[in-house]
Amino acid sequence: MTSAIQTINLSAWYGNKQALTSVSMSLEENKITAIIGPSGCGKSTFIRCLNRMNDLIDGFKTEGEILIYSKDVRYIDPVELRKSVGMVFQKPNPFPKSIYENIAFGPRIHGINSNRLDAIVEESLRKAALWDEVNDRLNDNAMELSGGQQQRLCIARALAVKPKIILFDEPCSALDPLSTSKIEDLMLELKKEYTLVIVTHNMQQAARVSDHTAFFLYGKLIESGETKQIFKKPKEKSTEDYIIGRFG
Amino acid sequence: MDRLRIQRIRELAIEKALFLCALASILTTLGIILVLIFESISFFEEVPILEFLTGTTWAPTYRPQHFGVLPLINGTLMIAVGAAIIAIPLGIASAVYLSEYADLKVRQIVKPVLEILAGVPTVVYGYFAISFITPLLREFVPEANIFNAASASIVVGIMILPMVSSLSEDAMRAVPRALREGAYALGATRFEVSTKIVAPAALSGILASFILAISRAVGETMAVTLAAGATPKMTLDFFESIQTMTAFIVQVSMGDTPFGSIEYKTIFAVGMVLFVMTFLMNIVSMWIKEKYREVY
């Protein structure tokens, strides 16, 4: 098994507040890894380290190593890094532009020739299972789509720059159950081509979609392993308590 | 029961008092507009409105009298355009810097300083123009008049700069962080995020700030009276002395023009033109704000 992402003793701070403590784990290629844990346990911080999104926050710093396909992210230009590590956010955040322009934005800034854009837009929308719903109104404003459609648009937007890894930061927490199940189906489809990491509050979701699960608590990685094993026979008492809903 | 009634009367009294306060400012505004209209009408009984609006010579205070307001409008527009050429690029650049690049500490220092710039009395800008900008300008352009439109434009530009930068920055900072993150996550650089995501999303606020600033430049009085001169002229040469509508009004109000004379009434007609211009600009600014609002 190749590991797409590996962290070694990763610690992180917002100012003086430590958010991650010495997290070492590796995430396999073409799998879905779910990161679970109660609010404030560092799971979002963890995935936002992977594409250096937290660099944008004043006073944020890390220690330890993050390797993406064996390359230390500190030595990769963030623009290049984020091209290969895409991200989908908690709340759908389409740009206030047309559906077409939302998808074309990424390829455009990376200098893709504009005569290839039509093909990329179609391909990305198809992969995100949105093409059939929007192909007759690509020039409409993306803000007119429903929440679930907006989130799939954001996935299509991420796909358009051809990443290898896609990070999902609680992608369904603002969506209704039907839209949620569409996104989950989509993730299962996408893992054939991409490595996916999903932060989720929803135990059932983690159990349904992921191959591996990692449980975080107070900024520490408590345990990680095959999803079945974590849910059926967790090694740690706190994992079990969290999964069966004793806290969190 | 009694307590309830007293309370209700008190509430009513407060409401009426507040209403009267609001009414006072509305009535004042109405009063000003009415005075402008009536005095202008009595002016136009003596001077045909067409002559006033199309004439190219403005000489109401000496014989033969001419009442063509175009030279004054020309002067006002020169100052407005000149000031805009300075304030818009600088203002938008500093807004982008403050909103997207500067870290918290820098912003906490720079923004109040910019806003202090907006609080400097305009007469100070006026003598800053004559005592500093004009001599400097004449180093480079020796043939420039002591009173000239360029110097006044520069100083008015500096004066309205904080308005552009501050209002544009507010508009840009109101763009949700999530939009920026969405763009960064696709590998956009800071510059691409600023110019392709944030600025378009804030466009309505930015355009509105331009228009408000220009409208302020049109109405600006003290600095242009001091720096631009008192020579109403149909010219586009920024190094000549000109006169704006506001400066003319100052000149007549301050001078010994007899009250009630035709010369005296000119200031109401000119004031009316000025009022219509700034009023239209404010309307346009509101309209732009509505029309170009990107819903995010």
Q: Which residues pair with A88 in a beta bridge?
A: A168
CA distance B151 to A114: 46
Confidence tier at B293 by pLDDT (50, 70, 90): low
pLDDT in tens, chain A (248 residues): 578 899 999 999 999 999 999 999 999 999 999 999 988 899 999 999 999 999 888 889 999 999 999 899 989 999 999 999 999 999 999 999 999 999 999 999 998 888 999 999 999 999 888 999 999 999 999 999 999 999 999 999 999 999 999 999 999 988 888 888 888 998 998 999 999 999 998 888 999 999 999 999 999 999 999 998 888 888 888 888 888 876 65
What the block records as the tokens of A91 is 């709340």
- Report the gap between the CA of A7 and the closest CA in chain B (Å): 20
What the block records as the tokens of A230 is 């974590």
CA distance A234 to A224: 9
Count CB neighbours of B46 within 10 A. 9
Task: Give a yes or no: residue B59 inside a domain.
Answer: no
Task: Give a yes or no: residue B52 inside a domain.
Answer: no
On whether both B120 and B27 belong to a single domain, the answer is no
Q: Are B188 and A79 in contact (CB < 8 Å)? A: yes
Nearest residue of chain B to residue A88 (CA atoms): B182
Q: What is the pLDDT of residues B189-206, one digit of tens each?
A: 999 999 999 999 999 899
Total-model pTM: 0.83
Q: Which residues pair with A10 in a beta bridge?
A: A23
Q: Are A56 and B181 in contact (CB < 8 Å)? A: yes
On whether both B25 and B132 belong to a single domain, the answer is no
Residue B294 has pLDDT above 70, yes or no: no
- Number of Cα atoms under 13 Å in the Cβ half of residue B48: 4
What the block records as the tokens of A108 is 């455009």
On whether both B183 and B230 belong to a single domain, the answer is yes
Q: Are A109 and B201 in contact (CB < 8 Å)? A: no
Domain of residue B35 covers: 2-46
Q: What is the pLDDT at residue B85?
A: 96
Q: Are B187 and A97 in contact (CB < 8 Å)? A: no
Nearest residue of chain B to residue A95 (CA atoms): B179
* CATH number for B270: 1.10.3720.10
On whether both B15 and B115 belong to a single domain, the answer is no
Torsion-angle region of A111 (φ positive above 0: left; ψ -120 to 50: alpha; else: beta) = left
Q: How far is CA B180 from CA A172, B95, B160, B195, B295, in A?
A: 20, 16, 29, 11, 15
Phi, psi angles (nearest 5°) of residue A105? -55, -50
Q: Are B183 and A96 in contact (CB < 8 Å)? A: no
CA distance B32 to A104: 54
What is the mean pLDDT of the segment spanning B143-169? 93
On whether both B32 and B122 belong to a single domain, the answer is no
Alpha helices in chain B (DSSP H): 2-46, 49-54, 70-96, 104-119, 122-128, 134-140, 149-173, 177-185, 190-192, 199-201, 203-219, 222-227, 245-254, 262-291
Q: How far is CA B88 from CA A92, B162, B182, B212, in A?
A: 34, 10, 28, 11
Count CB neighbours of B138 within 10 A. 16
Given a contact cutoff of 8 angstroms between Cβ atoms, the answer to whether B220 and A95 are in contact is no
Q: What is the pLDDT at residue B43?
A: 92
Q: Smallest Cβ distance to A161: which of B187, B189, B192? A: B187
Give, for B59, the enclosing helix (H) or strand (E).
Answer: strand B58-59
On whether both B22 and B118 belong to a single domain, the answer is no
Q: Which of A51, A68, A90, A105 to mutate to test the interface with B (most CBs of B within 10 A)?
A: A105
Close Cβ partners of B95 (under 8 Å, ≥ 6 residues apart) = B164, B165, B166, B168, B169, B172, B206
List residues of chain B with CB under 8 Å from any CB of chain A.
Answer: 103-104, 176, 178-189, 192, 196-197, 200-201, 294-296
Q: How far is CA B60 from CA B44, B48, B249, in A?
A: 14, 14, 12
Q: Which of B186, B204, B294 to mutate to test the interface with A (most CBs of A within 10 A)?
A: B186
Share of chain A above pLDDT 90, in %: 67
Q: What is the pLDDT at residue B218?
A: 94
A56 — contact with chain B (CB < 8 Å)? yes
On whether both B110 and B17 belong to a single domain, the answer is no
Q: Smallest Cβ distance to B296: which of A79, A96, A161? A: A96
Q: What is the pLDDT at residue B65?
A: 86
CA distance B256 to B61: 10
Q: What is the pLDDT at residue B248?
A: 92
Nearest residue of chain B to residue A102 (CA atoms): B183
CA distance B263 to B252: 8
Close Cβ partners of B21 (under 8 Å, ≥ 6 residues apart) = none
What is the mean pLDDT of the segment spanning B127-131? 92
Residue B292 has pLDDT above 90, yes or no: no
CA distance B164 to A69: 47
Q: What is the pLDDT at residue A247?
A: 67
Three-state secondary structure string covering B96-143: HHHHHHCCHHHHHHHHHHHHHHHHCCHHHHHHHHHHHHHHHHHHHCCC
Which domains are assigned to chain A? 3-243 (3.40.50.300)
On whether both B263 and B234 belong to a single domain, the answer is yes
CA distance A159 to B194: 23
Estimate to the nearest angstrom the gap between the alpha carbon of A89 and the chain centroid: 7
Q: For chains A and B, what is the number of CB pairs under 8 angstroms?
A: 72
Q: What is the pLDDT at residue A85?
A: 94
Confidence tier at B276 by pLDDT (50, 70, 90): very high
CA distance A123 to A137: 16
- Report the gap between the CA of A95 and the closest CA in chain B (Å): 6
Q: What is the pLDDT at residue B295?
A: 64
A80 — contact with chain B (CB < 8 Å)? yes
A158 — contact with chain B (CB < 8 Å)? yes
On whether both B24 and B142 belong to a single domain, the answer is no
On whether both B16 and B74 belong to a single domain, the answer is no
Close Cβ partners of B75 (under 8 Å, ≥ 6 residues apart) = B149, B228, B232, B233, B242, B243, B244, B245, B247
Estimate to the nearest angstrom the gap between the alpha carbon of B294 and the chain centroid: 26
What the block records as the tokens of B44 is 């136009």
Q: Smallest Cβ distance to B184: which of A53, A58, A110? A: A53
- Report the gap between the CA of A202 and the closest CA in chain B (Å): 22
Phi, psi angles (nearest 5°) of residue A144? -80, -10
The total of structural domains in chain B comes to 2
Question: What is the maximum alpha-carbon separation in chain A?
Answer: 57
Q: Is B189 buried (19+), middle (13-18) or exposed (0-12) by CB count in 10 A? A: middle
- Report the gap between the CA of A233 and the closest CA in chain B (Å): 36
Q: What is the pLDDT at residue B114?
A: 85
On whether both B42 and B95 belong to a single domain, the answer is no
For chain A, helix (H) and strand (E) counts, in that order, are 10, 10
Q: Are B181 and A95 in contact (CB < 8 Å)? A: no
Length of chain B: 296
Given a contact cutoff of 8 angstroms between Cβ atoms, the answer to whether A84 and A51 are in contact is no
Given a contact cutoff of 8 angstroms between Cβ atoms, the answer to whether A41 and A214 are in contact is no
Q: Are B185 and A51 in contact (CB < 8 Å)? A: yes
A105 — contact with chain B (CB < 8 Å)? yes
For residue B135, cis peptide bond before it (omega within 30 degrees of 0): no
Close Cβ partners of A243 (under 8 Å, ≥ 6 residues apart) = A203, A215, A230, A231, A234
CA distance A146 to A125: 15
Task: Give a yes or no: residue B233 inside a domain.
Answer: yes
Q: Are B179 and A95 in contact (CB < 8 Å)? A: yes
On whether both B18 and B88 belong to a single domain, the answer is no
Q: Smallest Cβ distance to A109: which of B178, B182, B192? A: B192
Task: Give a yes or no: residue B57 inside a domain.
Answer: no
- Report the gap between the CA of B271 and the closest CA in chain A (Å): 42
Q: What is the pLDDT of residues B23-67, one digit of tens each?
A: 999 999 999 999 999 999 999 998 999 999 998 899 888 778 889
